[in-house]
Chain A
């Protein structure tokens, strides 16, 4: 082909860690002939091919859909979860955002609640635990009424969609100076609190989800706003405020459990 891609040399510093208990360290690797059209993960693929042929273990990193929707890819690139570009996941970050000769440091998401499995791969099951504790509407299959019996104004539906768009990637936790999961939790709390379907369990849901979140080793929100800036789906900080007021109200109104059948 006549046209030549712009290629560059990139100096990588990549975190390697054998297991959760391993100390871990950085390795350095220079990638040559990097095309500007490559995605960041494709660069990692190329690095891995070189490592394998040298007999080294490939760098473990989570990735799947590579179109920015599954939330599997992670990585902290030069200090930024999902790299420097806003509203972008690592898989959608392209090398044209970097310059020839750039030094790039790649680290895993770091948080006590997300222990490193190996290299850049971390364990995010804590998020599933938060959802398990209440991130749903309790409706059994087959018992639903006609969909149009629940009218929802367009603005409310759009607001709910905005927060429901969370992909659960964990960048909010990774970016937060406190390793807080407030944005993730508040996105689901908001989604359900905004919609009529979520009203019946509204109070119990926020109590359960917040308590679970706090028990999993996440830090507390201190309103720095790092989560919002790093969120690939731009979930707004407003949802944390919403979770706060939902939580206080529910907490204040909560009744002590009655001993049923007790003495």
Chain B
């Protein structure tokens, strides 16, 4: 019997707007992602990659279809329940880093732990060290380079051992060298921890490391 998937979506649709202005961004998506799998989603701008990640990350609710992450039916959750789900089960890495500017690097990592009631057993410091940020724990976002900020964002996404790690163009704002370095560390850490990673990207180099590559074309999911 195959292991139960971490992500199971069936007939997933997402609309924006209302009335005559309504437009469908995702069309009848079926998707299953197994535990520990690294899936890359490719697609042009406006193809619906980010929207799909937002649905998977419980940041938005699908207009139609079913979506289960782990044991949780995301479509059935209200907003506060989705917040609890995000806190517990999702680690998100954004293209624009989105570090909390009022917290330093280490505090950015501590926040997910505290929100989940997980004591910091030194994991935040170890993660920062693994990501080459030793000595920068007390730096604020505006005191870090883009690559450094994104590495902190990666650490923040992993520190509380989420069920699902989502990354939306995580290296889109970085130069090639920095992007390669961040990506290497990111994938390495996810693999080590056995987490499931779904990443939206343009990078073909990333595709080469993925277990599976899916393509989104005008809201329709097709195998790459």
Chain B binds chain A: no
Q: Could you tell me which B residues sit within 8 Å of A by CB distance?
A: none
Q: Could you tell me which A residues sit within 8 Å of B by CB distance?
A: none
